[in-house]
Structures are given as C-alpha cells and as structure tokens.
Structure 1
Amino acid sequence: MLYMAVMFIETQTTPNPATLKFLPGRQVMPSGTRDFPDPESAEASPLASALFSMGDVTGVFFGSDFVSVTAAQGTDWAALKPQVVAILLDHFVSEAPLFMGGGADGIAVPAEADAVVEDREEDADVIAQICELIETRVRPAVAGDGGDIVYRGFSEGVVYLQMQGACAGCPSSTATLKQGIEGLLKHYVPEVTEVRAA
C-alpha cells in the first residue's frame, strides 16, 4: 500500500506588509539564520534561488522554523502566495538540500556580517552584556515577526544593529530600534546611549 506524506504550510502576516512568514512545520535552519536580500546572495541556496526566480520576490530569509518572503511594492500577495507555497512544498517534500555544497546534510554555515565599527577590547564586558540581551530578549521577539537582528558593533555608547528578514524595510523597524531595543539596552547597560541601524 502506498502512503503519501501530507504537508501543510502555515502562513502568517508580519508587521512588514510586504513580507509574509511561511511555517513548514519542520526545521528550516538547524542553527542561526540566513538573509538573502537579493538574487545574487540567493545563489548559495536552491530554495532561495527558486523563490527569487518568480520575479516579484525581493527578499528571502531563513529562520529556525520559518521562511520569510518579501515581495516587491505593489505585488498582489493573493496571486504570489500560492506560488511561494508550491515552491516550499516541492522543496521540503523532496527533502532537497537547503544550500549547495553544504556537506551531507546540505547545510552551509553563513558567514558573519562585517562589523560596522571595530569593537574595542576594553568594551568586552559591555559588549557581552549587549549581546546576551539581544540573544535572550530581542531575537526571539524579532523572530516571531519573521526576521532577525544582528549585532554589528559598539562604539562610544552607540550600538549598531542590522535588521534582517521581515524586519528589514519594515515601516515600524525604526520605532522597534529606537523605542523598544534602545530602551531595553539603556535600562540594563548604562554605557549604551543610542542604538543605530547598520
């Protein structure tokens, strides 16, 4: 008797109206995240390349258990969404590798983003506190919205952070950085005076 595997992909809106979050009900990235802001960066991933090949996609982001897809301004999500779901279903049902040349499991570890400023050794304790807060308090909330946030440096009281996925280009990302994250970091780390987008 032949049994077919059934897979459902849940879709969630994000605070960014141009981005939808797709949850395949299984692990996407075993650790970390991966941002594909353009088709060139997507060449490392057959799945990201397939999504960009639709033409209306301007960004793809892989989280631990989700894929966020950003569409070009004016794109009709009602028409694009079934196409995205079809590509995701094909990928996950076929158990295709997420990255090209990623070894036996098909997973490649992304390179870390370049720092905006060079961290100073004397700031190591402050930077450790900042990174711990980002990891435990900020990243889980941002992942819930279909994105990620990456530490890019600390200098003279200023923390540089990069928004990725649904959070990059989101109309509320500036408010998130300034009112949410900046307030949290200033409260727990008195050396922080400002948070800026990198």
Structure 2
Amino acid sequence: MTKLTIKETQNPAIIKFEFPDFITRNQSYEYKNIDEATDSPLAQQLFYLPFVKTVYISGNFVAVERYSIVEWDDVKEDVAEQIEEFIQKGGVIITESENKSKKLPVTVYGETTPNPSALKFVVSKMLTKNAIEFKNIDQAAASPLAQELFKFPYVKEIFMDENYISVTKYEINSWDEITLELRTFIKQYIENGGTVLDDSLLAAPLKSEDKKDEAFDKLDETSQKIINILEEYVKPAVAADGGNIVFESYDESTKTVNVIMQGACSGCPSSTFTLKSGIENMLKSMLNDEQIKVESVNG
C-alpha cells in the first residue's frame, strides 16, 4: 500500500502529501474547483471535501489548500488516508494524455554559495529524488538538461538534488555576465517539458531505499552513527549552500572518516574549514571521541 508523507509548507493553509515516487511527468497541475479537474479523478475526489479550496499536483506530491473552516491538524490524517485508499483501489491521479489542465509556469532563481565558482539555481518543482553529480558532458548521458548546460563554454560541473541545480563555472566569465542566461535557459527548458534526469540511463543505477538500508545494516556501529549524524545535522546545511556530503568509509584504526564533497562544496575554498571546524568537531563531540578526523577523498 502506498504510504504518504505529510509535510507542512510555508503557507499554513497548504499542506503537502508526498508519494514515494513521481506521480507526474514533467508537468505541474493546479485546480481551483471540481470542474477544472476533469483530467484528475483524484483531485475531483478531494473537491468533495468541503474545506478543499485548491489542489496542486506536481512531481511526487499532491498539495491541498484549505478554506479557513478547518485546521489541518484536525483533518490532515484523514485526507492522507483517503488519498492512500483511492490509490490502493486503482484510482487515477492524472490522465496526462488528455492534458486539459493548466500547466504551471516554473520559477527559477539563483542563490549564491560559499563557493565563488558555484551558483545554486532553485526551481519551483521537484527535479530528482536522488543527488547526482556530473563532472563533464560525457558523464551526463542520463541527464539531457545537464548535457545542454555543458554546451555553455563556461559550465564546468553540474550537481542536482531535489529542487535545485548547482552549476560550477570556469573563471572565463563572472556570474554577473552569465546568471541571467543560465536562469532563463533552465526555466524555459523545464517549462517546455524537457527531461531533467532519466534514471533508466544512469550508468550506475542509484540504490533503492531497500538496498541502502541493507548496506547500512552491514556497517559497524560507529559508521552507522556517523551516517546518521551527517544525514540529520550536516546534509541539510550543505544542501542549503548548493552542495552535498556523502559518507565514503570509516577507518577504526586511524579514526578517520572519509567523505565525498559534491556540488558547490566540491572545490570550495572554505570546505576545509567546514570539514575541520564544523563537521569534525561535531563528530568528536557527538561520538565522544577527540581522535576523530574527517578527510575529503576528492579534495
């Protein structure tokens, strides 16, 4: 049975119900009433609830905006159960072939990062469920978008995760000269339905959650603790800066934690400081071991 994750948003009237997999293909949908939802049986079902004002469907989630006659705390679990039951009975979320709903415009904006050579482009929709990095166009066979971006002569590396793309540039241009061009290209590419990432073309398929859990269970206790600390405390912070950190290994004999820095964190002048003064000190404190060292295997 499909199990949804309920997530709050910055708008208290809107709540998201996230699916474990994508439910649409390169499109977003918005319905203001049941008459607009002719191509979404799920949205039509939701509009029978008297407090439903708007239904949004995009990527891997359904978001619902409520009227003020109820509070989400009182009804969100019931709505999630109704959606899960609808899916379990074979209900259709979107009849995409009909495509009669409004296609939402995509918003893309740039964010600076601690790495002066990298800029983070945040997109108003889910792009990928898995972080992935491309060092050059030859590695980007699975991402038509990355391939197109590499055609810009100043693009050096590309990193994608969730709803953002980090672009690392060569020093031949300043960000003032190229930010607008990149932002406009990404926006138009996604709005036109271009494929961001094709999982079937990945040279090394990303591990499923079950395989990740299996690999995690085989690790020693200290490695498991390190991974949990990185996932809970470190990854959200580096993701905000357009980067990622991946646990590589732990050597008990030398007390060395090896990690891989990705995206804006890769090659960042401040990454060494982050590793030593931030992550290393955190691990020493939380593991109660002053001998812990953290090293980046990719510099």
The reply on whether 1:185 has 2:290 as its aligned counterpart is no
Pick the structure with greater CA Rg. 2
The reply on whether 1:40 has 2:138 as its aligned counterpart is yes
* C-alpha displacement of 1:5: 4.3
- Return the letter of the residue paired with 2:200: G
Q: How many residues align?
A: 186
- Return the letter of the residue paired with 2:239: A
**SS of equivalent to 1:149:** strand
- Return the letter of the residue paired with 2:243: G
- Return the letter of the residue paired with 2:107: F
What's 1:134 paired with?
A: 230
Matched-pair contact (CA < 8 Å) for 1:22–1:68: yes
- Structure 1 residues 122, 62: closer, same or farther in 2, change over 3 A? closer
Higher RCO (CA-CA < 8 Å; seq separation 6+): 1
CA distance in 1, matches of 2:198, 2:244: 23
CA distance in 1, matches of 2:248, 2:273: 19
CA distance in 1, matches of 2:293, 2:199: 40
What's 1:116 paired with?
A: none
CA distance in 1, matches of 2:288, 2:147: 43
The reply on whether 1:17 has 2:113 as its aligned counterpart is no
* C-alpha displacement of 1:87: 2.3
Matched-pair contact (CA < 8 Å) for 1:163–1:197: yes
**SS of equivalent to 2:267:** coil
Matched-pair contact (CA < 8 Å) for 1:9–1:85: yes
* C-alpha displacement of 1:109: 4.7
Matched-pair contact (CA < 8 Å) for 1:50–1:87: no
CA distance in 1, matches of 2:262, 2:218: 29
What 5-or-longer segments of structure 1 have no aligned partner? 113-118
The reply on whether 1:87 has 2:190 as its aligned counterpart is no
Pairing 1:69-84 to 2, within 5 Å after superposition? 69-84=167-182
- Structure 1 residues 190, 196: closer, same or farther in 2, change over 3 A? same
Q: TM-score, normalised by structure 1?
A: 0.84
The RMSD of aligned alpha carbons is 2.7
Pairing 1:1-198 to 2, within 5 Å after superposition? 5-29=104-128, 31-100=129-198, 102=200, 109-110=205-206, 124-155=220-251, 156-191=254-289, 193-198=292-297
Q: TM-score, normalised by structure 2?
A: 0.57
Matched-pair contact (CA < 8 Å) for 2:112–2:118: yes
CA distance in 2, matches of 1:111, 1:72: 31
What 5-or-longer segments of structure 2 have no aligned partner? 1-101, 209-214
* C-alpha displacement of 1:40: 1.6
Deviation string 1:138-160 (CA, Å, 9 cap, x unpaired) is 00000000000011100031000
